């Protein structure tokens, strides 16, 4: 069996597997075919979905990448165009794209219903949308204090202090991540005018998962881009002695290969703009 180095073990490996699964789920839901020419990847991030789409499109296919408030295209030459984000796709003409894809984008938006309306607007008749979203409210309801998936442990008091740092973030930052569930996604798609709406929902509670990685690597990670890294939260919450106690415990778990516990919920939604006007 091939052994992996310290940065390829445990949760790092699981994260890569998760990202690949999210990418493949979105692309398979999009049903890309040889006749599709233009894919709009909204909130493209590092291009996980968009570059994956290029591999599945024919030689004439292209992807428009919308990153934050800017848009660029694989049809080289054109300068970036400003957009208003997922809820205001300025610069994208009506009925001009074949497929819209997103991954973990609506979770940052206060205008989710408007985003679905924009997706509908830019799609050609018969065009499709395929998206992925984590349902964070599920985790907050069932396991709000289990920050690292370690369950009950001798460092529960320290984990609680670190968790309080995240609870202290502004409502403006956290509200969009918690204010919807899978039923809302379906409702917004239907209201926007989509048909053939399908949603695949998966929930996991305390499922055995890969071991935690070493504490120093973990500290470089943030729960999401709008929140402090775990390292920043640990520094803000704990004394030097407390940090040493937490590091010692977590590194011992990593060295022993102790499994973590995974609690999460995810949703993949796909839908089609009708070929006719209603």
Q: Which CATH number goes with the domain that contains 8? A: 3.40.50.150
Give yes or no: residues 45 and 89 share one domain.
Answer: yes
Distance, in Å, from the CA atom of 88 to the CA atom of 73, rounded to the nearest integer, reads 18
Please identify which residue in the block is written with the tokens 């996604």: 185
Among 271, 127, 139, CA closest to 198: 271
Same domain, 197 and 95: yes
Domain assignment of residue 159, given as a range: 137-174+213-257
Both 63 and 155 in a single domain?
Answer: no
Buried b (16+ CB within 10 A) or exposed e, 173-200: ebebbbebbbebbbebbeebbbeebebe
Say whether both 141 and 64 belong to one domain. Answer: no
Half-sphere exposure of 92 (CA within 13 A, CB side): 34
> 146 and 163 in one domain?
yes
Clarify whether residues 217 and 246 are in a common domain: yes
* Per-residue tens of pLDDT for the chain, all 278 residues: 233 334 344 455 666 778 889 999 999 999 998 788 899 999 988 889 999 998 888 788 899 999 765 555 554 344 444 455 788 898 899 999 999 999 999 999 999 999 999 999 999 999 999 999 999 999 989 998 888 898 899 999 999 999 999 988 877 788 899 999 999 999 999 999 999 999 999 999 999 988 887 788 889 988 888 889 999 999 999 999 999 999 999 999 999 999 999 999 999 999 999 997 65
The answer to whether 249 and 241 have CB atoms below 8 angstroms apart is no
**Residue 189 and residue 51 share a domain:** yes
The answer to whether residues 161 and 274 belong to one domain is no
- Return left, alpha or beta for 149; rule: phi > 0 is left, psi -120 to 50 is alpha, else beta: left
- Dist CA 67 CA 133 (whole Å): 17
Q: What is the pTM of this model?
A: 0.86
Does residue 125 share a domain with residue 152?
no
Give the number of other CB atoms < 10 A from CB of residue 151: 12
Co-location of 70 and 147 in the same domain = no
Q: Are residues 88 and 157 in the same domain?
A: no
How many independent structural domains does the chain possess? Answer: 2
β-partners of residue 109 are none
DSSP alpha helices (H): ranges in 134-202?
136-142, 156-167, 171-178, 182-192
Regarding whether 154 and 93 lie in a shared domain, the answer is no
3-state SS, residue 129: strand
């Amino acid at each position: 069996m091939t052994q992996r180095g310290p940065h390829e073990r445990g949760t790092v490996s699981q994260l890569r597997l998760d990202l690949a699964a999210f990418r493949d789920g979105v692309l398979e839901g999009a049903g890309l075919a040889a006749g599709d020419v233009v894919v709009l990847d909204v909130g493209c991030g590092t291009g996980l979905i968009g570059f994956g789409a290029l591999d599945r499109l024919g030689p004439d296919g292209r992807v428009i990448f919308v990153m934050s408030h800017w848009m660029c295209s694989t049809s080289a030459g054109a300068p970036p165009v400003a957009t208003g984000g997922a809820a205001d796709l300025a610069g994208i003409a009506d009925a001009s794209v074949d497929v819209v894809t997103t991954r973990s984008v609506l979770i940052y938006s206060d205008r989710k219903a408007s985003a679905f309306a924009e997706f509908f607007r830019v799609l050609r008749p018969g065009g499709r949308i395929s998206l992925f979203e984590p349902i964070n409210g599920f985790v907050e309801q069932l396991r709000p204090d289990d920050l690292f998936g370690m369950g009950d442990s001798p460092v529960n008091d320290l984990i609680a202090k670190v968790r309080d740092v995240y609870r202290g973030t502004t409502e403006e930052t956290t509200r969009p991540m918690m204010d919807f569930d899978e039923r809302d996604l379906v409702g917004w798609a239907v209201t926007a005018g989509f048909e053939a709406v399908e949603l695949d929902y998966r929930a996991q509670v305390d499922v055995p998962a890969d071991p935690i990685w070493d504490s120093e690597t973990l500290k470089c990670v943030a729960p999401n881009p709008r929140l402090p890294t775990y390292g920043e939260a640990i520094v803000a919450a704990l004394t030097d002695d407390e940090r040493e106690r937490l590091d010692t415990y977590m590194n011992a778990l990593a060295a022993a290969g102790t499994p973590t516990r995974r609690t999460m919920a995810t949703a993949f939604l796909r839908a089609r703009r009708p070929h006719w006007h209603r």
